Structure formats: structure tokens, C-alpha cells
Amino acid sequence: MTFHEILNNLRGSSLSSSQIVTAIIETAANLNKGEGEDWSDTASVAYGHEQPSSAALIQVAAKALLDSPLELRLSDVCAMLDANASRDFGEFWIRQDAAQELLGLLGNAQSARFSYPASLRPALLFAIDRKTYAQPTIIEYAGWEQDSRILGQLAAIFDLDIKFSKSNPWTRSGQPYFDVELIMPPFGFDMSRAGDVPEATLSHLGVFGGRHGRISSETVAIADALQNARGRTVLAVTEGALFRAVGVEAIAREELVHSGRLHAVMGIGPSMMFQNTSINTALLLLSPKGTSHAAIRFVNLTDEQFASRRERGRLEIRKGVAWSELPAVELTGNEAFARDIDVLSIKEEGYTLTIDRYLDRHARDAIAQLLAKSEVAELSELVEMIRPAALTQQEGGEYIVLEAAPADIAENGNVSDPSRTISVDRVQFRKAANQVLRPGDVLIAFKGAVGKVGIVPDDVPADGSSTIWAAGQSLMILRLKGRHKLSPHVLYEYLSDEVVQEHLKSLAGGSAIQTIAMKDLKSLAIPLPDKETQAKVAAAVAERQALYRQIEQLKAQIVTARRSNWPHAELRSPQD
């Protein structure tokens, strides 16, 4: 029987798919190390002389795997793990094409270190490549117990020499320095209780004396790379780690930028590298110690030149693309996929390192040209920014609150009747007093559907009513202060423009839920057109609203005309 025929037979057994894969890998490793059962005990199974048990079939499959040529053996192992990655091995078994691209970024080296479970596949492929071309290389892997055991078994199957660190990836042991490193920490892992993070590493985060609050694994990985990685380093992080200001994350990014070693930030879309996540990620490319980059290159790997959509709209890496070429390719200045940003500009952005922050070139240039034609003020100077508090449903509450969400903003830009109804008592009603919506309030979604803008119409319930409209927690109320005499319709028109919307989305970040930081909203530059321009805007808005009303009337006429004909008229009761 061939290896694939044996696999098909095993799929009919009581073993799960992942159990079959684990058993075959472990058995093949033991056989190749001379620790397996005598092959003669299961030889008859291969020739169909007896009804095989699952254990015997696994022995045969393992032997068939070992007997195959190296290239085919690798293909079969990868196919087995790929088929189970989303269920059981997704934490450490990244996509094949992404693993190859990471090897291209690492390049040739005489020593290499791979840290954390997600680097397992690149470590395996790197070791096989070095063996294929007979290039002696020191390879160290630092991961957890489970993935280290699996990589050890794979190393035995392919006769690879990989050294395994006996300590945690961030504590370092054995060889002190490597030519290249790939560091892929688990996303969102809280390191606050990990007492073995070296003080020298923590010092890069402004932490001294061993006492600290929440520190993520990504932040520790950045500090570890700055402290201990001497050679070329590729570090994978979530998009959130590039903009969050929680704990010491901002300090880590500032240290990274001012180290001079950060060569490039490469943004990766969901599913392009990791098998079972919808989170945007990024690669940080660090040059060897002693290097000093005056500018950092930002590259969008989701650009259509480098990625395409597959089933269900998921992104995959285009064939023929080489990520390794992008950090050094000469830019003309007109590219939408990449841009070099000087360190001072990054400092002015609060050391935010998200790709969209620097690649919305068209929107920023167009906005800059418009702002140059009029007076300008920051949004916080023009409006009171009210962030709604949470309201909870109370049985028997004497007041009714209709809570608006981004979905309640109609096509014409007006906030329509809010869909969520909450009954509250007098205490909560008073609490909601400041977030009661008034005519002319502009609402902007700063979380979730970021940038969506609406305006509160004149017929909103008045103050003092037992039923009020309020904003939900994903909306910010922008209430004009008045001294600049800016019309709410002018503010709405500006914020809802497609170009400004593109810019607002570039300011957002977040691993799961996109969010615009309050500081970015406050500092948003708003043009202040003259009275004549504002009057034209008001007239245009009124004319457009009249058109929307006509459209609604036409829609109602269409519904009435349809219902008057067969079979609609016969199928409805007189009350309809």
C-alpha cells in the first residue's frame, strides 16, 4: 500500500484526524531513531495478508513515509499538518507560502534562532534547505513543550540537526548570538506573571526592579530583540501592538524606532500567514546591531500586486511575489504600496507604526490642499466631544431611552429612530443627561464602523420628555461650541466626504475591533469655510434632503402600485 492508501484506511478507524497525524509523526521519528517496533511484525499488513489494526497501519504509514524521497516526505508531512492546522495545529503551523517568504527575509546565515511556536514551520524548512545544500548551520529553536516535541520528531524524520533551548524564548540560553532570528510571539499573551524576564530586557521598557503591570508577549519580544538579537531579525506582531498605548507598549515602539535598527514594517492581512485568525499582523524587520536607519519603510503586503482574494474573500500571497525584495526596492514616491517615513515624522505620530497611518497618501495630500485654502482648527477646539456612558436596562424604569448606533444613521445622513430601547430609573436618566441627543449634534463612530457620520435632525425629542434619544457607546457626540460659528451641516459634510472617510479609517487600529484613538480625533484638522461657502453648503444640503424625500415618496408609490395588482391584492387582508 502507498502512504496515501494507508491514510485513507486509517480515516475509517476510531482515531481522529489529528490523532492519526500525531501518531504517524511520533512513530516515524521513533523508527528513524531505531526506537520503533520491529518492522517484520507489521510487514504482512503492507502486503494485505491480514486485517490491519490502527496501530499496525500507523507503523506501516510511518515506514512508508520514511522510505519516500526527501521532497515527497516533506510534501506528505506538510499536507497532513495543513489539513489539521485550523483545528489542532493552527497555533504553530503557519501557511507554506508565508513560511517560504519568511525564509527569504532571513536570507543565508551560518547561525539562526527561531523563537515561539509559530516559527516551527520556518525552522523546519530552513533546516531542510541547509541540509539540501550541505551548508553547515547552527539552528536553535526556543518554544513551548508541545511544539518543541513535534519539531524534535520532525527533525528525527528528516535527519536534521536542530538544537532546542531548555528555557523560555525570552530568557535565552546556549549560543548567545545568531546571524539571523525569527521571533513570532503568541498574540496577546500576558507576561505580567512571568517572573523570569531578564532585567536587562525589561529596562528597554522603562521597567526596573522587576515590578511591572501588564506586559504583552509582543512587547517583551520587541525588548528581547533590541537587547539580545545582534543579527538580522524578523519579528511578527499584531496590528494592535503597533498603535496601542496600554502599559509599556508605546515605550517599546519608541525604543525600537530610536534604536535605528528598524528597517521596515510590513503589513499582512488576515489568513495570509496564520491559518485560523482574522487579525491583521505585521512583520518588523530589524537590521543588525550597529545599523542606523534615518527612515523606516512601510509596506502593505495586502496590496493587489502582492495578494489576491480566494474563497470567501480571504487573502493569499500571489505566486511569484518575493517579500525579501520590497524593503530594498527603489521607490519613485508615487507607489501606493510602500513609503519611506523619516524618524521625526514617526515621532510626531506618537510612534504609531500601523501601515495605514502612513500609506493613505492620496487622502492626506487632497486634505492638505483643501486645508491650505481656509482657516483651520482642531476638532477639539470646535466641538465638545462627549463619549457616552453605558446604560443598562432596568425593569420598571420610568424613563425610556432610545439608544442610537451607527446602523441607525440613514442614507440621507440623518439619525433615524434609534433601534435599541432601554428603560431606566431617574438616577440613570440623570447620568445620561449629557449624552441626550440635540438637534444639530454630529455623531461619529469611533469604534467598529469607524468614521461613519450622522447628524441629529430637528424633530428629535426635546429635553424634558420622558422618552429621549441618546448615543450608544460606539458613537462620539460632536456638539459645536459656537464661537467659531461653524454650521453642523458643514462639519457633517466635511467628515462624511469619501476622501476624509478614507483618512479616518487610516487612523483606526485594533486587533479585533477597529478604534480611532481619542487623541487622533481631538487633533483632526477641520477647515473653516467663509460665510458665503457655508451658505452654499446649507442650500445644497437642503436641496439634497428634498431629493431624498422625493425618493421616499417614489418608493412608497412603487410599493402601493405593486400591491394593487395580482396576486398581491388578493393575498392581503383589507387592513393591509
Model pLDDT for residues 261-279, shown as the tens digit of each residue: 999 999 998 889 987 777 8
Q: What does pTM read for this prediction?
A: 0.76
The pLDDT tens digits for 288-323 are 999 999 999 999 999 889 998 776 667 899 999 999
Ramachandran sector of residue 482 (left: φ over 0; alpha: ψ -120 to 50; beta: rest)? left
Q: Which domain holds residue 425?
A: 381-529
CB 453 within 8 A of CB 496: yes
206 with 328, same domain: the answer is yes
Q: Is the pLDDT of residue 37 over 60?
A: no
204 with 312, same domain: the answer is yes
CB 296 within 8 A of CB 360: no
What confidence score (pLDDT) does residue 44 get? 37
Q: Is the pLDDT of residue 211 over 70?
A: no
* Cα–Cα distance for residue pair 445/434, rounded to 1 Å: 18
The pLDDT tens digits for 331-374 are 988 888 999 999 999 998 889 999 988 887 678 778 889 999 88
Ramachandran sector of residue 551 (left: φ over 0; alpha: ψ -120 to 50; beta: rest)? alpha
Number of domains in the chain: 4
Distance separating the N- and C-terminal Cα atoms of the chain: 70
Task: Give the Cα-Cα-Cα angle 532, 533, 535 (nearest 5 degrees).
Answer: 65
Q: Is the pLDDT of residue 85 over 60?
A: yes
CB 453 within 8 A of CB 495: yes
What confidence score (pLDDT) does residue 41 get? 44
What confidence score (pLDDT) does residue 40 get? 41
- Region 250-267: mean pLDDT is 95
317 with 454, same domain: the answer is no
| DSSP state at residue 36 | S
Q: Is the pLDDT of residue 210 over 70?
A: no
388 with 490, same domain: the answer is yes
- Region 26-43: mean pLDDT is 70
For the ranges 143-147, 313-317, 327-331, 455-459, the lowest mean pLDDT is seen at 313-317
- Region 552-572: mean pLDDT is 89
Q: Is the pLDDT of residue 556 over 70?
A: yes
- Region 62-68: mean pLDDT is 92
555 with 509, same domain: the answer is no
Q: Is the pLDDT of residue 46 over 50?
A: no
Q: Which of 36, 67, 98 is at the close of a domain? A: 67
Q: Is the pLDDT of residue 47 over 50?
A: no
Q: Does 367 reside within a domain?
A: no
Q: Does 369 reside within a domain?
A: no
What confidence score (pLDDT) does residue 195 get? 64
Q: Is the pLDDT of residue 38 over 60?
A: no
DSSP state letters, 258-290:
HTS-EEEEEEE-TTSS-TT----EEEEEEPPTT
Q: CA distances (Å), 281 to each of 59, 343, 438, 457, in order?
A: 40, 22, 40, 41
- Region 523-528: mean pLDDT is 92
Nearest to 444 by CA among 478, 412, 417, 419: 478
For the ranges 41-50, 98-107, 246-255, 289-298, the lowest mean pLDDT is seen at 41-50
Q: How confident is the model at residue 575 (pLDDT cuts 50, 70, 90)?
A: low
Q: Which residue has the higher pLDDT, 76 or 505?
A: 76
Q: Which residue has the higher pLDDT, 263 or 572?
A: 263
DSSP state letters, 536-573:
HHHHHHHHHHHHHHHHHHHHHHHHHHHHTSTTHHHHS-
- Region 98-126: mean pLDDT is 95
Q: What is the CATH number of the domain that holds 135?
A: 3.40.50.150
- Region 139-164: mean pLDDT is 93
- Region 533-545: mean pLDDT is 93
Q: CA distances (Å), 558 to each of 403, 442, 544, 548, 565, in order?
A: 32, 33, 21, 15, 11
236 with 136, same domain: the answer is yes
For the ranges 124-133, 302-311, 550-559, the lowest mean pLDDT is seen at 302-311
Return mean pLDDT, the chain.
Answer: 87
Q: Does 374 reside within a domain?
A: no
CB 388 within 8 A of CB 435: yes
Q: Does 236 reside within a domain?
A: yes
What confidence score (pLDDT) does residue 151 get? 94
What confidence score (pLDDT) does residue 175 get? 78
Q: Does 373 reside within a domain?
A: no
106 with 31, same domain: the answer is no
Whole-number CA gyration radius for the chain: 30
Q: Which residue has the higher pLDDT, 154 or 466?
A: 154
Q: Is the pLDDT of residue 532 over 70?
A: yes
The pLDDT tens digits for 391-447 are 888 887 888 888 999 999 999 999 988 988 988 888 887 777 788 899 999 999 998
* Maximum mean pLDDT: which of 52-56, 255-259, 331-335: 255-259
What confidence score (pLDDT) does residue 89 get? 59
Helices (H), 85-119: 96-106
What confidence score (pLDDT) does residue 201 get? 86
Amino acid code (one letter) for 28: A
Nine-digit cell string for 298: 512601510
426 with 347, same domain: the answer is no
Q: Is the pLDDT of residue 42 over 70?
A: no
What confidence score (pLDDT) does residue 392 get? 82
Q: How confident is the model at residue 461 (pLDDT cuts 50, 70, 90)?
A: confident
Q: How confident is the model at residue 90 (pLDDT cuts 50, 70, 90)?
A: low
Q: Does 280 reside within a domain?
A: yes
* Residue found under cell 493552527: 90
pLDDT over 90 percentage in the chain:
51
59 with 85, same domain: the answer is no
Q: Is the pLDDT of residue 515 over 70?
A: yes
- Region 506-531: mean pLDDT is 83
What confidence score (pLDDT) does residue 69 get? 93
Q: How confident is the model at residue 91 (pLDDT cuts 50, 70, 90)?
A: low
Estimate the share of the chain in helix, then strand, then coil, as percent rounded to the nearest 5. Answer: 40, 20, 40
Q: How confident is the model at residue 24 (pLDDT cuts 50, 70, 90)?
A: very high
What confidence score (pLDDT) does residue 218 get? 92
pLDDT over 70 percentage in the chain:
92
Q: Is the pLDDT of residue 50 over 50?
A: no
428 with 470, same domain: the answer is yes
DSSP state letters, 137-170:
-EEEEE--HHHHHHHHHHHHHTT---EE-SS-TT
- The answer for residues whose C-beta is within 8 angstroms of residue 449's C-beta and 6 or more apart is 406, 407, 474
Q: Does 372 reside within a domain?
A: no
139 with 242, same domain: the answer is yes
Nearest to 232 by CA among 259, 262, 256, 202: 262
Number of Cβ within a 10 Å radius of residue 119:
29
Q: Does 364 reside within a domain?
A: no
Three-state SS at 209:
coil
What confidence score (pLDDT) does residue 296 get? 97
- Region 59-82: mean pLDDT is 92
464 with 550, same domain: the answer is no
